[in-house]
Amino acid sequence: MCGIIAYTGTQQALPVLLDGLKRLEYRGYDSTGVSLISRKRIKTVKAAGKLNVLESKLDTPVSGHCGIGHTRWATHGAPTDENAHPHYDADHRYAVVHNGIIENVDALKAKLGKKVTYTSETDSEVIAHLLAQHGGDFVDALRDVLLQITGTYGLAVIDKEHPDTIIVARNGSPVILGIKDDEMLAASDMSALSRYTNQVIHLDDGEIAVLKPGHFEVSRLDSTVSEKQAITLNLQNANYDRGGHPHYLYKEIVDQPDTVRQTLSGRLDERFSTAHLGGLNLSARDLIGIKRITILGCGSALYAGMAGANMIETLARIPVNAEPAAEFRYRNPVIEQDSLYIVVSQSGETFDTLAALREVQRKGGFVLGIVNSVGSTIAREVDGGIYMHAGPEVSVASTKAYTSMLTAFSLLALLLGRSRDVSPQKGNSIINELKALPEKISQVLTLETDIAKIANKYKKSASAFFIGRTSGFPVALEGAQKLKEISYIHAEAYPASELKHGPLALVTKKTPCVVILPDDELLLKTVSSMEEIKARGGPVIAVTSSDSKRIDKLADAVLRVPASGTLTQPVLMGIVLQLLAYHSAVSLGRDVDQPRNLAKSVTVE
Ligand code: F6R
């Protein structure tokens, strides 16, 4: 989604803002803009398109020590120069960057009256005009304006009458303060701050912060002071560089042996043949009291949740279901005291997942989070959780975070299993399976050349199917998701058993079918589905851990992952599908890291 960066301090603000925008670009990137206070005037430069378009407009840099910047992902109005942020009032006294949606924009415009001329189609512009109409003290004016807004915002505002001051506010869209000696920064995402400081403060909803060089003051909309302490972030894993790789996505795929190692680090308890998960805030008694689990997430996080549901149900014999967070929150769900709710999110900021978490907690349910982004809103609001420690994921399409979600679920399944009927021997064999996982991922990565050839062969296909059964089905869903979002090849996933109930009508020699075949008790049944596809002339790409010769005979291509236990097979097969999507996208010349219409971290409903 959109990104915000703000700076006030001793340095020239423009390079800091542009650097911040570069780091934020992955969140949303159809237009960008900056406003700086320069010689008591606000100078604004904005442009539709990527950051380089803005940079070319800034050939003569704007000087100034205080400014705000924005990358936009269009919601209200097309991506044009006019609709790009910052927005300002008629006199250019105020400039505003805003993430979120103002639901009562029409009512606010009616209040402002007919005399106001709008220069954009956005909802955000109304904030600048409301401030101008209000006038007076900067903080009081903004407080009053925010009290009139219904909707969500993360915003930063400057006022030329206060040339060293920025005010930021949050309601439903993240704002993080970055503290540094005689400077102050704010951003919607840690990525824009981590180069400058590891001292941060996360604003909570309803908070407003006044920033001056080396000074900040946080209060609530009703003017009560919020006592906030800066936290020190461990930036060891905060690597936002491509590391010499052609794309972030590629780097994030090949980094997975390490990122999985990080997720597992310190969490395998060989003494008791279980997992050690310190942040759950659940006692052994709480663990055995869990009667049901509901997992909530969106997109790939949901598919990881579906895989996790299989793992936990198989190992711990607790009924588990995984649901789209956005649907769950609106169906007035029944929340049970003996149920455990788990929200899964890479960013920790996905609006629908956050809303589902709040709905469960409002009804008294206990919620665990499986989250990557340290200090994110979801991470702060859950009752306990597991950090993935996968490091920042920059590419829009999730890869290493998805894999770490599965890894975190394996650990949780082991813990819940051992709190029930799983024997120490079985627990040990799972620990060994997990210990071997990073090395097996490295072996999967050696399949890349074969995978690239297959991607190249089928890249012209208009459509592809992905099928699998039980633990293979979430893998198929995620494989189809990766292919469609980065290569734009239409891809659908089905349980293999469902093929003959409809989709088989679409199978021809032009529709490659990726068949997921974990080496389990359903293997031969999935092989029968392969037969059905072959009988209709459909090309089959088998992804399997089985050495069955029948698979080799039937399939047009076989991608074989190393043999492993049931918990880790989905991880290995998932990585094959990530590489398949990556090479399909590259061979089609797609913008792999920033696929069209999509944005990382969906902070609007
Ligand atoms: C797909 C993808 C999205 C996210 C989804 C949830 O590759 O990245 O489907 O998985 O938007 O995001 P998080 O995990 O940040 O809640």
> How do the domains of the chain map onto residue ranges?
3-235, 237-444, 446-594
- Identify the residue whose C-alpha is closest to ligand 1 atom 7: 397
Give the separation between CA 173 and CA 49, rounded to whole angstroms: 23
Compute φ and ψ for 16, nearest 5 degrees: -65, -40
- What is the per-residue pLDDT across 281-302, written as a single tens digit (0 to 9) for each? 999 999 999 999 999 999 999 9
Going by their DSSP bridges, the two strands 176-180 and 199-202 should be labelled as antiparallel
How crowded is residue 423: how many other Cβ atoms within 10 Å of its Cβ? 11
Structure tokens of 401? 């975070």
Percent above pLDDT 70 for the chain: 99
pLDDT band at residue 197 under the 50/70/90 scheme: very high
pLDDT at 596: 86
Catalytic residue chosen out of the listed positions 400, 440, 482, 600: 600
Catalytic residue chosen out of the listed positions 2, 66, 298, 513: 2
User: Is residue 64 within 8 Å of 36, Cβ to Cβ?
Assistant: yes
pLDDT at 28: 61
Tell me the residue type at 479: G
Ligand 1 proximity of 345 Cβ (cutoff 6 Å): yes
CATH 3.40.50.10490 fits 237-444, yes or no: yes
Which of 247, 582, 602 to mutate to test ligand 1, by most ligand atoms within 8 A of the CB atom? 602
**Region of residue 36 (left: phi > 0; alpha: psi -120 to 50; beta: else):** beta
What atom of ligand 1 comes closest to residue 300's alpha carbon?
Answer: 10
Ligand 1 proximity of 347 Cβ (cutoff 6 Å): yes
pLDDT at 190: 87
Ligand 1 proximity of 397 Cβ (cutoff 6 Å): yes
Looking at domain 3-235, its CATH superfamily turns out to be: Aminohydrolase, N-terminal nucleophile (Ntn) domain (3.60.20.10)
Query: Is the pLDDT higher at 229 or at 540?
Result: 540
What atom of ligand 1 comes closest to residue 601's alpha carbon?
Answer: 15
What atom of ligand 1 comes closest to residue 482's alpha carbon?
Answer: 7
Compute φ and ψ for 207, nearest 5 degrees: -105, 155
Ligand 1 proximity of 601 Cβ (cutoff 6 Å): yes
Closest by Cα among 97, 83, 77, 70 to 170:
97
What atom of ligand 1 comes closest to residue 401's alpha carbon?
Answer: 14
pLDDT at 238: 62
Ligand 1 proximity of 477 Cβ (cutoff 6 Å): no
Across 53-78, average pLDDT: 90
Tell me the CA–centroid distance for residue 155 and ligand 1, in Å.
23
Q: C-alpha angle 545/547/552, rounded to 5°?
A: 105
- Is 259's pLDDT higher than 70? yes
Across 579-586, average pLDDT: 98
pLDDT at 458: 96
Residue 540 is classified by DSSP as: E
Tell me the CA–centroid distance for residue 402 and ligand 1, in Å.
9
Which of 1, 323, 344, 346 to mutate to test ligand 1, by most ligand atoms within 8 A of the CB atom? 346
Tell me the CA–centroid distance for residue 72 and ligand 1, in Å.
18
Query: Is the pLDDT higher at 437 or at 236?
Result: 437
Ligand 1 proximity of 300 Cβ (cutoff 6 Å): yes
Across 471-496, average pLDDT: 97
pLDDT at 243: 82
pLDDT band at residue 600 under the 50/70/90 scheme: confident
- What is the per-residue pLDDT across 18-63, written as a single tens digit (0 to 9) for each? 999 998 877 667 899 999 999 889 999 999 998 999 999 998 888 9
- Identify the residue whose C-alpha is closest to ligand 1 atom 3: 299
Tokens 């014999």 found at: 317
Ligand 1 proximity of 171 Cβ (cutoff 6 Å): no
Across 254-274, average pLDDT: 97
CATH number of 446-594: 3.40.50.10490
Tell me the CA–centroid distance for residue 290 and ligand 1, in Å.
28
- Give the count of alpha carbons within 13 A of 43, CB side only: 16
| Stretch (H or E) spanning 156 | strand 153-159
Give the separation between CA 546 and CA 551, rounded to whole angstroms: 8
Q: How far is CA 568 from CA 40, 416, 561, 565, 571, in A?
A: 60, 17, 11, 6, 5
Same fold, 3-235 and 237-444: no
15 burial type by CB count under 10 A (0-12 exposed, 13-18 middle, 19+ buried):
exposed
User: Is residue 468 within 8 Å of 308, Cβ to Cβ?
Assistant: no
Length of the chain: 605
Ligand 1 proximity of 470 Cβ (cutoff 6 Å): no
Ligand 1 proximity of 346 Cβ (cutoff 6 Å): yes
Across 488-501, average pLDDT: 95
Task: Write down the mean pLDDT value for the chain.
Answer: 94
Give the separation between CA 570 and CA 516, rounded to whole angstroms: 9
190 burial type by CB count under 10 A (0-12 exposed, 13-18 middle, 19+ buried):
buried
- What is the per-residue pLDDT across 143-161, written as a single tens digit (0 to 9) for each? 999 999 999 999 999 999 9
Which of 26, 298, 388, 400 to mutate to test ligand 1, by most ligand atoms within 8 A of the CB atom? 298
Tell me the residue type at 521: E
What atom of ligand 1 comes closest to residue 602's alpha carbon?
Answer: 11
Helix (H, G, I), strand (E, B) or coil at 238: coil
Q: How far is CA 507 from CA 66, 172, 319, 513, 541, in A?
A: 59, 44, 35, 8, 14
- What is the per-residue pLDDT across 210-243, written as a single tens digit (0 to 9) for each? 999 999 999 999 999 999 989 887 765 566 778 8
- What is the per-residue pLDDT across 157-196, written as a single tens digit (0 to 9) for each? 999 999 999 999 999 899 999 999 999 999 998 889 988 9
pLDDT at 235: 64
Across 331-341, average pLDDT: 96
513 is catalytic: no
pLDDT at 26: 72
What atom of ligand 1 comes closest to residue 303's alpha carbon?
Answer: 10
* Residue 59 CB partners (closer than 8 Å, separation 6+): none
Percent above pLDDT 90 for the chain: 87
Q: What is the CA radius of gyration of the chain?
A: 25
Across 529-555, average pLDDT: 95
What atom of ligand 1 comes closest to residue 399's alpha carbon?
Answer: 7
Which of 329, 350, 409 to mutate to test ligand 1, by most ligand atoms within 8 A of the CB atom? 350
pLDDT at 239: 67
Which of 300, 342, 484, 603 to mutate to test ligand 1, by most ligand atoms within 8 A of the CB atom? 300
- Give the count of alpha carbons within 13 A of 386, CB side only: 28
Ligand 1 proximity of 159 Cβ (cutoff 6 Å): no
Tell me the CA–centroid distance for residue 342 and ligand 1, in Å.
16
pLDDT at 29: 74
Ligand 1 proximity of 486 Cβ (cutoff 6 Å): no
600 is catalytic: yes
